[in-house]
Amino acid sequence: MVYLGLLLALLTWPQAWRFLFGRMVLISLVALGPFLAHLWWNWNNCSVNLAFNFGFRANESTGWGPLYVLLTILIMAGPAGFLALWAAPRVRKFGFFSRAFLATLLVMLLISIWRQEFGVNWGTPLAGMAVLALAELRPQAFDLARRAGLVLAAALVLPIAVLALALDMDLLKVGDFRDGSAGFAADLILDLNDGTLPALLRPLAKGRVLVTQEYGVGAGFDNAGFDETTVFSTTIFGRNQDLLTDFRMLDGRDMVIVPFAAKADQALADRLFDSYEIVTLSTARQSYEFILGRGFSYETYRKGWIMPVITALYQQSRFPYRACYMDKYR
Model confidence over 33-52: pLDDT tens digits? 999 999 999 999 888 888 87
Question: Residue 38's pLDDT is what?
Answer: 93
Question: Taking the alpha carbons of 52, 58, 59, 60 in that order, is the dihedral positive or negative?
Answer: positive
Question: Residue 75's pLDDT is what?
Answer: 83
Question: Residue 176's pLDDT is what?
Answer: 63
Question: Residue 296's pLDDT is what?
Answer: 96
* C-alpha–C-alpha distance, residues 218 and 207, integer Å: 17
Question: Residue 209's pLDDT is what?
Answer: 94
Question: Residue 175's pLDDT is what?
Answer: 64
With a pLDDT cut of 70, the percent of the chain lying above it is 95
Q: Is the pLDDT of residue 168 over 80?
A: no
Q: Is the pLDDT of residue 14 over 90?
A: no
Banded model confidence at residue 141, pLDDT cuts 50, 70, 90 = confident
Mean pLDDT of the chain: 86
Question: Residue 270's pLDDT is what?
Answer: 93
Banded model confidence at residue 180, pLDDT cuts 50, 70, 90 = low
| Across 27-31, 46-50, 268-272, least confident range | 46-50
Banded model confidence at residue 318, pLDDT cuts 50, 70, 90 = confident
Banded model confidence at residue 82, pLDDT cuts 50, 70, 90 = confident
Q: Is the pLDDT of residue 177 over 70?
A: no
Q: Is the pLDDT of residue 29 over 90?
A: yes
pLDDT digits (tens, 9 = 90+) for 219-266: 899 899 998 999 988 777 767 778 888 999 999 999 999 988 888 888
Question: Residue 198's pLDDT is what?
Answer: 92
